[in-house]
Chains A and B, each alone.
Chain A
Amino acid sequence: MSVLVWVEHDNASVKDATLAAVTAAGKLGEVVALVAGQGAQGAADAAAKIAGVSKVLLADDAAYGHALAENVAPLIAELMSGYDAFVAPATTTGKNIAPRVAALLDVMQVSEVLSVESADTFTRPIYAGNAIATVKSSDAKKVLTIRGTAFDKAAAEGGSASVETISGKGDTGLSSFVGAEIAKSERPELTSAKIIVSGGRALGSGEQFHALIDPLADKLGAAVGASRAAVDAGYAPNDYQVGQTGKIVAPEVYIAVGISGAIQHLAGMKDSKVIIAINKDEDAPIFQVADVGLVGDLFKIVPELTEKL
């Protein structure tokens, strides 16, 4: 079985999400990586080094520069005559492209795969992770998106695949890229951070949120997250939100400060390796998932913790 994997990249390097997708794809068969971009030789070279990748296809064209689904989906669909499965990481880019590919192939996609049970059987979360479904696909070709936190990352170095340049139809003229505002932060990005410090509504205000959470995060080199309640209350910007309707994260360490642990929040962080909770309510549901809990006043605890670290 041969598997085509979508490489998420910034033209120069490969993003971490790709590495988990390679691991998942490797469970199905031989992995060929597709780098579609503009001036993306650097990314293709990086992809060639990923352990487990047997070949890299590079489609370098202005039309693929911003990974517009309208342009890259036909490219992939055409390539798929030579592959049995298409695998993309379940990033916003992967989620944008893969279903378009699936429809072009007349295939029902399996989204956010958590495990590969066999060549045609997968597990995936439904109801915001409140249930796990095992599904079996009867389609001849498979189209999958992979939840990055569910698979180990393939080694970024060690492989030596060849890079083959290909071309596709290019621009379909349906869409064009206008611009992007990517949040710049000294801190690591939420979905790839090793440590996350998240604040909840108990922080009481935007000022207190930043006064308490930011120093602790900086001390730990952590990313900053927030509960939906804190975001809705305006204490933290939208892209901080961790949860069912925000970002799904699974860092090594997740520190929840003043977060009660609503189901929708737990759905976004419960796969973290270690969860630490600080809350004044000893009955808060967050303590039911926390590995380490401290009951008390966060306004005293957090500064003390920051200081003692």
Chain B
Amino acid sequence: MKVLVPVKRVLDYNVKPRVKADGTGVDLANVKMSMNPFDEIAVEEAIRLKEKGVATEIVVVSIGEQKAQETLRTALAMGADRAILIVSEDKVEPLGVAKLLAKVAEAEQPGLVILGKQAIDDDNNQTGQMLGALLGWGQGTFASKVEVAGDSVDVTREVDGGLETVKLKTPAIVTTDLRLNEPRYASLPNIMKAKSKPLEQKTPADYGVDVTPRLTTVKVEEPAKRQAGVKVADVDELVGKLKTLGVVA
């Protein structure tokens, strides 16, 4: 079974985003960019499936600027087999991404597409579900456990209040939640090997997909800051405050 894993290059999760003064977005110049952490989990899950003998080949795809090559190389260094970069210097929305991925999936015929549940930049949490709709495949979103058995896959999902397990007919979509696994660090020999793994370049036009955005960003602002409140000296004063606030009688 082939596994397709889309990955996105985003602002590194350790970097505090800075809103640009002109309100057009978040400043991405000169900041560390990395693979979206949820996508890393997706790549790791695919590699584990390959190590178990379930997956035979892992294809990673990224849609974005040329620099997204680095992200694909990271995935290859972790253990993916080959990569496809669909180059678009303009931002592509989840709907456009899902349409492109649907074309890739039609060409590659994977048994599973594993995606991060959301990218930590736009926090949309849409692409996997949209891809499921476009392909007419089942979806196991927010996965904390994935078990492939024959032509179906059991996905345990992190839902409000607990866990839920669904059985999906393959081919299917899985989107990863934080605790599905802990992604590995690429080993040095694998980083070196990644350099010679195939990386194919495409454009949205190659797939005949119109990726014109449907949303326009009017402005981006910093959230309203909370003002720091008061410090109390001891527990008695704290209890007093709680009473004033009506928390306790």
A and B touching (C-beta < 8 Å)?
A: yes
User: Judging by beta carbons under 8 Å apart, are B139 and A133 in contact?
Assistant: no
0 or 1 for each of B195-231: is its CB under 8 Å from A? (1 = yes) = 0000000000000000001111111111100101111
User: Judging by beta carbons under 8 Å apart, are B123 and A125 in contact?
Assistant: yes
**Given that A128-B120, A309-B248 are contacting pairs, would A292 and B214 also be in contact in the complex, using a CB cutoff of 8 Å?**
no
In the complex, which residue of chain B has the Cβ closest to the Cβ of A305?
Answer: B235
Does A260 belong to the interface (CB within 8 Å)?
no
Contact of A127 among B17, B140, B165, B232 (CB under 8 A): B17
Give min CB distance, B113 to chain A, whole Å.
Answer: 14
How far, in angstroms, from A46 to B233 measured CA to CA in the complex?
47
The interface residues of chain A lying within 8 Å CB-to-CB of B169 are 173-175
User: Judging by beta carbons under 8 Å apart, are B157 and A175 in contact?
Assistant: no
Query: Restricting to B95-129, which residues have a CB under 8 Å from any CB of A?
Result: 95, 98, 120-129
**Given that A108-B93, A126-B121, A294-B235 are contacting pairs, would A100 and B166 also be in contact in the complex, using a CB cutoff of 8 Å?**
no
User: Judging by beta carbons under 8 Å apart, are A293 and B235 in contact?
Assistant: no
User: Judging by beta carbons under 8 Å apart, are B130 and A100 in contact?
Assistant: yes
Does A134 belong to the interface (CB within 8 Å)?
yes
Pick from B136, B139, B163, B234 the residue with the most CB of A within 10 Å.
Answer: B139
The interface residues of chain B lying within 8 Å CB-to-CB of A130 are 16-17, 19, 26, 222-223
User: Judging by beta carbons under 8 Å apart, are A127 and B123 in contact?
Assistant: yes
0 or 1 for each of A100-135: is its CB under 8 Å from B? (1 = yes) = 111110111111100000000100011111111111
User: Judging by beta carbons under 8 Å apart, are A305 and B239 in contact?
Assistant: yes
User: Judging by beta carbons under 8 Å apart, are B162 and A181 in contact?
Assistant: yes
In the complex, which residue of chain B has the Cβ closest to the Cβ of A219?
Answer: B248
How far, in angstroms, from A172 to B231 measured CA to CA in the complex?
58
User: Judging by beta carbons under 8 Å apart, are A73 and B133 in contact?
Assistant: yes
The interface residues of chain A lying within 8 Å CB-to-CB of B22 are none
Contact of B238 among A93, A112, A181, A294 (CB under 8 A): A294
Query: Restricting to A171-194, which residues have a CB under 8 Å from any CB of B?
Result: 173-183, 189, 191
In the complex, which residue of chain B has the Cβ closest to the Cβ of A178?
Answer: B165
Does B64 belong to the interface (CB within 8 Å)?
no
User: Judging by beta carbons under 8 Å apart, are A292 and B126 in contact?
Assistant: no
How far, in angstroms, from A72 to B126 measured CA to CA in the complex?
16
How far, in angstroms, from A184 to B236 measured CA to CA in the complex?
34
How far, in angstroms, from A66 to B237 measured CA to CA in the complex?
48
In the complex, which residue of chain B has the Cβ closest to the Cβ of A252?
Answer: B247
The interface residues of chain A lying within 8 Å CB-to-CB of B26 are 126-127, 130-131
How far, in angstroms, from A121 to B19 measured CA to CA in the complex?
20
How far, in angstroms, from A274 to B159 measured CA to CA in the complex?
27
User: Judging by beta carbons under 8 Å apart, are A288 and B228 in contact?
Assistant: yes
User: Judging by beta carbons under 8 Å apart, are B133 and A274 in contact?
Assistant: no
Contact of B161 among A129, A182, A252 (CB under 8 A): A182
Contact of A108 among B95, B139, B237, B247 (CB under 8 A): B95
User: Judging by beta carbons under 8 Å apart, are A107 and B162 in contact?
Assistant: no
The interface residues of chain A lying within 8 Å CB-to-CB of B124 are 109, 111
**What are the 6 A-B residue pairs with the smallest beta carbon separation, nearest first?**
A291-B229, A99-B129, A103-B130, A103-B133, A108-B214, A174-B138
Q: Which A residues are within 8 Å of any B CB, using their own CB?
A: 66, 68-70, 73, 91-93, 95-104, 106-112, 121, 125-139, 173-183, 189, 191, 195, 220, 238-239, 244-245, 252-253, 263, 270, 274-276, 282, 287-296, 301, 304-305, 308-309
13 extra A-B contacts, CB within 8 A, seeds A126-B121, A138-B216: A69-B139, A96-B142, A102-B130, A103-B129, A103-B130, A108-B213, A127-B123, A131-B220, A136-B218, A174-B172, A239-B158, A276-B238, A305-B239
Q: Which B residues are within 8 Å of any A CB, using their own CB?
A: 11, 16-17, 19, 25-26, 93-95, 98, 120-134, 136-142, 154, 157-169, 172, 178-179, 213-223, 226, 228-239, 241-242, 245, 247-248
30 chain-A/chain-B pairs, Cβ below 8 angstroms? A73-B133, A91-B160, A92-B142, A92-B160, A93-B159, A99-B127, A100-B129, A108-B93, A109-B95, A112-B123, A121-B218, A126-B121, A131-B221, A132-B222, A136-B218, A173-B169, A174-B136, A180-B162, A220-B248, A239-B158, A263-B16, A270-B226, A275-B226, A276-B241, A287-B231, A289-B226, A293-B229, A296-B234, A308-B236, A309-B242
